[in-house]
Amino acid sequence: MSLTAIAWLITYVGGSLMAYVHPIYGMLAYFFTYYQTPAFRWWGRDLPNLRWSLIISLLWVGGFLLARKRLPPLGIKKHPQTIWFVLLVINAFLVTATTAVWEEKSLDHSIILLKLLIMYLLIFQTIRTKEHYDYALYVHMYGIFSWGWSAYVDPRREAGRLYGIGGPNAWNDNGAATIFVAILPLVGSMFYTGKTWVKLACSITAVFALNAFVLCNSRGGMMGLLMEGLMALKISKGPMRKKIFMGMIAGGILFFSLMDTQFIERQQFKEDYGEDSSATGRLDSWKGAIELSKDYPFGAGGGGYVYLSPIYIPHIVAAHGGERRAVHSTYFQALSDFGIQGFLILMGFILSTFYQLNDIRKNAPHTEEGRKIWLQSIALFIGFVGVLTAGVFTSRLLTEVLFWLPAFSAALKNLQVLESEKSMVALDEQKTNHDDDSQRSPYSRSGVR
């Protein structure tokens, strides 16, 4: 057995056992397993072919259920995006039972959404302190660094795009690029708020992650990264806007130094849009989703678009040797598979997450920890914008990354409420002490000037 496999196994077993000391360790082990799934790594052949992610997730659930009564209190228990997520899952099962054209696949997709809901709930229920939140970010930072390192050591590319890195539901170029887009803003927030060693770790991570991102050569990912830059400048303010702008300049210089000819050629849109087969194929796929939604307004069920693609996009299917094709868009996937109501529910989930992040920024107290929370909410906002932009061009509805950031938003809202309450108590104590001092002062007595 390789040393890498032994080290991975020790970490996995340690996290599994520690999940019953505190569920935060189960969550960290789960994220660690996501980024280092044995089935996707060369050293994985030395380990048994087990469902490692399922096992650690069950242990995480068990640890949480045993510890939930002794965990620190939550600042807030209800979050607007949670209701929309529950509705999304209910709708998926209803569509499966009524209008699905591929019932078995639709049931599988509905169960995946249910699992994602459980994961979402566990994340913000597990993160109870600012230290827990930081630990989660550290694991994600390690995760994208490890992918970046793999891409640096063994950059396997086909047709100018990176293959052989990523994790479950984020394998290869587009999926991995979306993860980079989601996590890089969080790494940026850690750089501005962390200690010296954190800043150094963030800088190293950014270099390797950006290199892997360039190798992914994902148009959707690139659009997401550009939107993140624009949004960062729009919603930041004061001295922090200047810091973010300087960070973007440094990142831009690094990015341009990493670009190669293959990246530049693929990212360019041809003068004649009709000659760009990738772009025109997506447009035709989206038109097919609209036509499908006319025939199946309540949704064709999970996998319904793929199943019916020979009918609605026959020329694209024929061009790929008869292989059924996906719609390549998160939003058209929701529309075609889970109906108009499914699309509207997804929009409700997205908008409510943005609403909560705005609410966190508005109500973050003017304390040192409050300023960190404010900046972290900006990072989540930017990352979510990037994920949603990339999702225009790829089907991300059944992937974890779409729900990680809303879960972190809920966790951050809890921390913001607790910090606000703490700052109010401190102000009340300060006021009480000031009043007591005034009463004891001889100059506060009647008649004394």
Lookup: tokens for 147 = 């992918």
Q: Are residues 57 and 138 in the same domain?
A: no
Angle at CA 346, nearest 5°, toward 344 and 352?
A: 100
HEC secondary structure over 205-237: HHHHHHHHHHHHCCHHHHHHHHHHHHHHHHHCC
Q: Are residues 197 and 300 in the same domain?
A: yes
Asked if the structure places residue 449 within a domain, the reply is no
Q: Are residues 36 and 131 in the same domain?
A: no
**3-class secondary structure, 161:** strand
Q: Are residues 40 and 185 in the same domain?
A: no
Q: What is the pLDDT of residues 138-175, one digit of tens each?
A: 999 999 999 999 999 988 887 778 888 888 888 888 99
373, 364 Cβ separation under 8 angstroms = yes
Report the amino acid identity of residue 226: L
- For the chain, how many residues are written? 449
Q: Are residues 386 and 300 in the same domain?
A: yes
Asked if the structure places residue 230 within a domain, the reply is yes
pLDDT band for position 431 (cuts 50, 70, 90)? low
CB contact burial 274-301 (16+ within 10 A = b; e otherwise): eebeeeebbeebbebbeebbeebebbbb
Q: Are residues 30 and 173 in the same domain?
A: no
Asked if the structure places residue 441 within a domain, the reply is no
CB contact burial 410-427 (16+ within 10 A = b; e otherwise): bbbbbbbebbbeebeeee
Asked if the structure places residue 445 within a domain, the reply is no
How many other CB atoms sit within 10 Å of the CB of residue 154?
A: 10
Lookup: tokens for 354 = 């943005």
Q: What is the pLDDT of residues 250-305, one digit of tens each?
A: 988 998 888 887 777 777 655 444 444 567 888 999 999 999 999 999 999 999 99
Q: Are residues 204 and 136 in the same domain?
A: yes
Q: Are residues 231 and 265 in the same domain?
A: yes
Q: Identify the pLDDT of residue 278.
A: 67
Closest to 279 in 3D by CA, of 225, 323, 228, 219: 219
Higher-confidence position of 229 and 266: 229
Distance CA 202, CA 142 (A): 9
Q: Identify the pLDDT of residue 430.
A: 66
The residue from 40, 71, 102 where one domain ends is 71
Asked if the structure places residue 444 within a domain, the reply is no
Q: Are residues 26 and 153 in the same domain?
A: no
Q: Are residues 28 and 86 in the same domain?
A: no
pLDDT band for position 445 (cuts 50, 70, 90)? very low
SS3 content of the chain, % helix, strand, coil (to 5): 80, 0, 20
Distance CA 419, CA 381 (A): 20
Q: Residue 411 sits in which domain range? A: 72-432
Q: Are residues 24 and 113 in the same domain?
A: no
Angle at CA 393, nearest 5°, toward 391 and 399?
A: 40
Number of domains in the chain: 2
Q: Which residue has the tokens 């906002």?
A: 381
At residue 299, what are phi and psi to the nearest 5 degrees? 105, 145
Asked if the structure places residue 404 within a domain, the reply is yes
Closest to 295 in 3D by CA, of 328, 322, 323, 335: 335
The residue from 22, 45, 71 where one domain ends is 71
Angle at CA 25, nearest 5°, toward 383 and 108?
A: 65
Q: Identify the pLDDT of residue 73.
A: 84
39, 8 Cβ separation under 8 angstroms = no
The residue from 21, 56, 71 where one domain ends is 71
Q: Are residues 147 and 232 in the same domain?
A: yes
Asked if the structure places residue 437 within a domain, the reply is no
Asked if the structure places residue 229 within a domain, the reply is yes
